Amino acid sequence: MLLIKTQLRLFFLLFAIPAFTVAQPAEDNNIPVSTKINTIIPRKTIDTIQKELVKKGFDWPVRYIYLRAFKLEKQLEVWVKNDPVEPFRHFKSYKVCATSGTFGPKRKEGDKQIPEGFYYINEFKPNSNYHLALGLNYPNPADQKKSDPVKPGGDIYIHGNCVTIGCLPMTDAIIDELYYLASVAKNEGQDFIPVHIYPYRFDYQKSATNYKQKTADKKDLEFFNRPLQEAYDFFEDTHQLPAILVNGKGDYLVAKNPDAPKVERLKFIDPDEKKDPYAVWAPEEKVDQVPSFKTGNAALQKWLFRLTNELSAGLPENTSISVQVQFVVDKEGNTRMPKVIKGGTYELNKIIEERFEKELTWLPAIKGGLPVATKMIQNLNLVAPEDLD
């Protein structure tokens, strides 16, 4: 048993980064990336991307990125990390301009289908007719088994110009950002940049219902989607990529690291429906009983006193800062999405938000005899200690 576990760990360490663990064509390891990337991408875009990454706590330059797209939601996400064994962190989500075809994988030339499955970037195309383009390795080993043997189709890209027949089109400004991030990761040594294309978000009920209604007559998709959902769920629960293999029939096989630490799933906010970032918790504005700190008000005051003293100790002499924090206490009494809405600095606010989310638990608000979520606001007054010298 010990030997098996050791081999598993080695297996996942070796294959945690590529989108495929099946044999890859040798030439794909030498994808040309322009050395003049700074002349291709606008300087403003480069500065913006670098500042956004640093602001969100990422190191620069990025070393590994992972892209995943959702056809139904028309979204493409970028995940980033700088160490091969650490979990990915979400950086940014982009809107896909349009989609073509229907749900299900691409199977032949001219079917207008956007592929579904596990791919990687195999081409950087700065001279594309669609502004800039990142090529995908369709048909991949699974597609080669399942698709038309003579004309499976090809030339699938993530590109600009916002038009498509089977690709993932973005605005020119968005493809500038994606192309730049992918180029930097490639130049930092990431040979395989994985791109996973899903039909929909498997754990978002609205999408699941919509998808099932639109594919009720396509029973074969249920079998096709099983490994896709398995890979999706594993990433949602660990923020790490599973190893993807292909059997002799062209079916995907998902190999998951059983020792991967679990993480909390990110809350998906439908951009077409949830304008309020707190709306996913459906907070009540009026409640019968407001939340109370789980270990009592005296303990809350003691925690606030300790926090303000710790933060005040790092302030410059003769400095005072008033900070206002807004957050949701959910139905289970957890502190959700704390956000400094007044005062502070970036680094200070980041510490405050992290401490609120990790350390504060409550007895939830009550309305009509039932626990409900509600918003709360807490003020903090920070004053630098006096210099007694």
Q: List residues with catalytic annotation.
A: 159, 167
Tokens of 314: 């790092």
Contact, 104 vs 198, CB < 8 A? no
∠ at Cα 376 (340, 303), nearest 5°?
75
**Does 149 sit behind a cis peptide bond, omega within 30 degrees of 0 on the bond before it?**
no
Dist CA 262 CA 333 (whole Å) = 21
Residues 309, 315, 321, 324, Cα dihedral to 10°: -60
Dist CA 70 CA 126 (whole Å) = 25
Contact, 359 vs 306, CB < 8 A? no
Dist CA 328 CA 278 (whole Å) = 7
Contact, 361 vs 333, CB < 8 A? yes
Per the DSSP assignment, residues forming a β-bridge with 78 are 67, 92
CA distances 300 to 129, 292, 306, 327, Å, are: 60, 9, 10, 15
